């Protein structure tokens, strides 16, 4: 479809797997992708497939010995080749009209829609996402492609300036250069596609370094861009540990910007490296950094407690709590504390855990052995810091499964009250009153998402003024931000508040140039 006649942006809806036809399609897709497991995949540099001597495997966290694919362990030499390919491609890509760049994104969107079930199945098998979480991830990826395609067309219309009679003055946004895109494993399609497409739409070339726990889905997305006909070298894929290729590229003098989503510790390291000017570097690198959270949901006395318990459980245990937006602290005013705890316990007991290739399992495994061990260590800490309400059990004999775990009577300044766990572990904290609840919610180094359950309008206004997070929700869960509806990004140690899926996001990857002509 010509970009000039694009319809209004509308978010894609998640599939209803209670529909027998969609359920059958998903079952077939899982079976098909299982048959492809164990294949070897190349890195892509300058449009060419490259195989290296060193390789690594990606594993199914539901069946930890199942290899989903073999991938290349990129080294500094491969990273440098990718840089040179991206630099060369930038010389022509930067002059490619915005509408043409948008067309590539729209082509990828259409291909993603056609291969929807297969891509969902890959996320089920490689990341342990249940069917709904996997399809929600894919929907967000499509939304990013569609949204940024429209946004770059708007940006290309120019910058309105104040008129000055003696001169003809104009300004426009132009691309930056080569960007390093480092997405996380927990939204392996959505965030990867969003980070990549925003940089490409803005006219930059990209070296994509996916997380080591999600190279299969990254490879599948790369295949879509290649099938869409994106020019060689505009998008390059290098897989492997960030300590080798990733660090080399972050510190490279020709790197113009780094777009990262992941843990706070890695993010801070990238931010520090990006701020250091190295020999041969003639600009200040931009760093668009999104990190973690210790997200809180406040439950007030003036609310539907059953609804709040459901929202907290969904926010805390969706995708095993492995979302930067997941609720890991529930702060409940003491007037309804006991009632809420009782309802939350019953709600969490309904959660089914197991291999998410089976649609009946709502909660799957954590991503890998290190995550499993870390979560189990926090569970032991929780037993000392509070009272175990639900779960507390883990089983890694086949996959990395942990029962949804809830601790009550947790103190705000305890480890469970302060540290990001990234697992199905929830801390419930008692507050004296609503004001105390907001104080506790802000008592953290993070500031990503939060939610408040209350029917009191004055309390809602107070939270808007005082609850310091980038994304604040009322009477709903604190997860599931929709592109174009909920611009996403956080404060403090949650990142640079880059607000993905927002009108101004693409400008992070561009710079303004103005020119003046005397009349």
- The β-bridge relationship of strands 327-333 and 405-408 is unpaired
Where would I find the H helices in 350-413? Answer: 369-385
The edge-to-edge listing of strands for the beta sheet with 40-41 is: 40-41, 63-72, 55-60
Q: How does DSSP assign 140-200, residue by residue?
A: HHHHHHHHHHHHHHHHTT-------TTEEEEEEEEE--EEEEE--SSSTTHHHHHHHHHHH
- How far CA 292 is from CA of 260, 283, 372, in Å, comes to 12, 28, 18
Active site residues: 290, 324
CB 138 within 8 A of CB 112: yes
CB 313 within 8 A of CB 476: no
Q: Exposed, middle or buried by CB within 10 Å (0-12, 13-18, 19+), for 265?
A: exposed
- The β-bridge relationship of strands 178-182 and 255-261 is parallel
Closest CA to 409 of 393, 394, 379, 430: 430
Closest CA to 46 of 3, 73, 99, 83: 83
């Amino acid at each position: 479809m010509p970009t000039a006649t694009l319809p209004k942006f509308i978010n894609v809806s998640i599939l209803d797997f209670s529909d027998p036809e969609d359920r059958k399609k998903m079952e077939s897709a899982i079976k098909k992708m299982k048959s492809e497991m164990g294949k070897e995949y190349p890195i892509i540099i300058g449009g060419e497939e490259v195989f290296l001597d060193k390789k690594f495997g990606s594993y199914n966290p539901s069946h930890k010995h199942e290899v989903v694919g073999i991938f290349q362990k990129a080294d500094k030499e491969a990273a440098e080749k990718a840089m040179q390919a991206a630099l060369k491609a930038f010389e022509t890509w930067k002059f490619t009209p915005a509408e043409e760049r948008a067309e590539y994104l729209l082509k990828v969107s259409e291909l993603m829609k056609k291969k929807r079930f297969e891509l969902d199945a890959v996320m089920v098998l490689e990341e342990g996402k249940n069917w709904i979480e996997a399809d929600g991830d894919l929907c967000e990826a499509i939304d990013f492609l569609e949204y940024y395609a429209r946004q770059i067309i708007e940006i290309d219309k120019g910058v309105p300036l104040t008129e000055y009679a003696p001169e003809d003055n104009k300004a426009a946004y132009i691309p930056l250069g080569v960007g390093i895109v480092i997405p996380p494993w927990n939204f392996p399609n959505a965030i990867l596609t969003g980070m990549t497409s925003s940089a490409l739409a803005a006219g930059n070339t990209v070296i994509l370094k996916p997380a080591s726990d999600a190279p299969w889905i990254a490879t599948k997305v790369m295949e879509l861009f290649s099938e869409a006909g994106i020019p060689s070298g505009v998008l390059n894929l290098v897989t492997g540990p960030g300590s080798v290729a990733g660090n080399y590229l972050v510190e490279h003098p020709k790197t113009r910007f780094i777009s990262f989503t992941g843990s706070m510790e890695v993010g801070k390291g990238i931010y520090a490296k990006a701020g250091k000017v190295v020999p041969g570097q003639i600009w200040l690198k931009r760093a668009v950094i999104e990190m973690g959270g210790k997200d809180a949901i406040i439950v007030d006395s003036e609310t539907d407690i059953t609804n709040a318990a459901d929202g907290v459980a969904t926010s805390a245990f969706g995708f095993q709590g492995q979302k930067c937006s997941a609720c890991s602290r529930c702060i409940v005013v003491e007037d309804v504390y006991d009632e809420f705890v009782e309802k939350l316990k019953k709600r969490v007991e309904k959660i089914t855990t197991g291999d998410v290739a089976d649609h009946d399992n709502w909660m799957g495994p954590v991503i890998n052995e290190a995550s499993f061990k870390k979560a189990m260590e926090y569970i032991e800490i929780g037993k000392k810091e509070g009272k175990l309400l639900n779960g507390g059990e883990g089983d890694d004999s086949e996959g990395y499964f942990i029962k949804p775990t809830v601790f009550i009577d947790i103190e705000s300044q305890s480890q469970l009250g302060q540290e990001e766990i990234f697992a199905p572990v929830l801390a419930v904290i008692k507050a004296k009153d609503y004001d105390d609840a907001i104080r506790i919610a802000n008592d953290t180094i993070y500031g990503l998402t939060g939610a408040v359950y209350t029917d009191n309008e004055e309390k809602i206004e107070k939270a808007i003024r005082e609850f310091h997070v980038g994304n604040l929700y009322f009477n709903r869960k604190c997860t599931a931000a929709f592109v174009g509806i909920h611009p996403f990004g956080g404060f403090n140690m949650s990142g640079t508040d880059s607000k993905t899926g927002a009108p101004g996001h693409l400008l992070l990857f561009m710079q303004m140039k103005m020119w003046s002509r005397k009349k």
